[in-house]
Amino acid sequence: MASWVRAVVEAIHSSRAQAVIYLAGGASQALGWLLSVPGASGTVLEVVVPYSMASMAQLLGKMPLQFTSKQAAEDMALAAFNRALKLSGPGLQVMGVGFTGSLASSRPKHGEHRFYVSTRTQNCLRTSHVTLSKGLRSREEEDKVSSYFLLKAIADGCKVPATIQSDVQEPELPKESVEQFDEDQELQQVIDGQVCMKVYHFSDSMDKNFNRKIILPGSFNPLHDGHLRLLEVASSMCDDGLPCFEISAINADKPPLSIAEIKRRVEQFRKVGKNVIISNQPYFYKKAELFPGSAFVIGADTAARLVNPKYYGGDYNRMLEILLECKNTGTTFLVGGRNIEGVFKVLEDLDIPVELREMFISIPEEKFRMDISSTDIRKKQGP
């Protein structure tokens, strides 16, 4: 490994960014560089090489019209970005990387020797396209050139300065495109299902190392002291987690929230310095897939609905199957007491199936009880 390559890799590993990398058809040496320098486990979340047509189609959920193309690289980067959002450590910068190439092979190629590399972050999509001079290099040499460009793209995504020594000729200089997204566009991508979530980091605890998230889901219309206190108490019971509120832009039985409404609700969290995530998953079993290993903070009324077969088409076994899948992802539920039909109930008042009991942890009434709801506040405020 050249000394300048090692310096770039070390800078990437020091950037507190995490990436999922999908690549096919080249740039394999970049993986060796990234993984052989200490610190790789903090940067590289996952690497997938979808070389076969079937593998690529399964990865993207569709068959690309052309495998070595700008669109394919950008689709790979977006899929990698969504995967990285699910796998990343709390509070870290996230990036998806897609690479697809058609380089020199054992048989002469009629088409150009070329590659595309794309990186996707929350607010930016960058793509580079390089066409190499045929016959100038061996396959290994073309792979090295493409590896330099992949490394440079990752460094740029991590906001790390990097000048590569790629020895490309004048006609081989990259063609680059950059697309920036504003907040409205980012939220629309979440609503449309293109991106699985947008995270707003408003707290001052981002410099700590957290193993998981502690998530209080809700509509927060409005956010009130009961919400804040409940998450505070839950966080004190799980001190290895980053506390976050979560709002689903998609509702199970209502139209999606508008961008203006989402931003209005987000503003409440900015004012009090609390993290909030905007997702597009209204159901808990989908939230468990989105936030594996997380602890969800819920009220006893929500816990009662979670284990009620009525909400699973009346099928008890289906309810058990879905929640056991959540359990397998490391999901737990911290349950606070709530007034249910005029009676204050806690977890111990509920009939939780034996197979699921260790998933549910009670928040004692002496630690948290606030008989307040957003619905009551809205009624008092009037139209």
Sorted by where each begins, the domain ranges of the chain are: 3-180, 184-381
Contact 332, 361 (CB under 8 A): yes
What's the one-letter identity of residue 377?
I
Q: Is 18 helix (H, G, I), strand (E, B) or coil?
A: strand
Torsion of CA 130, 134, 137, 143, to 10 degrees: 40
> How high is the pLDDT of residue 383?
62
At residue 57, the pLDDT reads 96
pLDDT number for residue 275: 96
- Of the candidates 231, 164, 118, the one whose C-alpha atom is nearest the C-alpha of residue 4 is 164
Q: What is the pLDDT of residue 67?
A: 95
- Which pLDDT value is given to residue 133? 94
Q: Which of 201, 330, 334, 175 is nearest to 270 (CA)?
A: 201
**Predicted pLDDT of residue 110:** 83
What's the gap between Cα 94 and its chain centre? 7
Distance CA 196, CA 179 (A): 19
> What is residue 38's predicted lDDT score, i.e. its pLDDT?
97
| Element spanning 152, H or E | helix 139-157
What per-residue confidence (pLDDT) applies to 379? 65
Instruction: Quote the pLDDT of residue 210.
Output: 81
What is residue 125's predicted lDDT score, i.e. its pLDDT? 98
Domain 184-381 has CATH 1.10.10: no
pLDDT score of 206: 57
Ranges of the chain with pLDDT below 70: 205-208, 372-379, 382-383
- Tokens 């509920």 sit on residue: 350
Dihedral, 350, 354, 356, 359 alpha carbons, nearest 10:
80
pLDDT of residue 208: 65
Beta bridge partners of 245: 216, 276
Q: Determine the topology of domain 3-180 in CATH.
A: Maf protein (3.90.950)
Q: Which of 363, 327, 357, 323 is nearest to 345 (CA)?
A: 363
- What distance, in Å, lies between the first and last C-alpha atoms of the chain? 67
Which DSSP category does 280 fall into? S
- φ, ψ for residue 229 (rounded to 5)? -70, -40
The candidate with the shortest Cα–Cα distance to 196, out of 79, 74, 88, 285, is 79
| HEC assignment per residue over 36-98 | HCCCHHHCEEEEECCCCHHHHHHHHCCCCCCCCCHHHHHHHHHHHHHHHHHHCCCCCEEEEEE
Distance CA 120, CA 133 (A): 28
Determine the Cα–Cα distance for residues 235 and 215; give it in Å rounded to an integer. 9
pLDDT attached to residue 139: 95
* CA 14/CA 155 separation, integer angstroms: 11
Q: Output the pLDDT for position 205.
A: 67
Alpha helices in 196-308 (DSSP H): 225-237, 259-272, 284-290, 300-306
Per the structure block, which two tokens stand in for 71? 């669109």
Give the Cα separation of 142 and 123 in Å (integer). 31
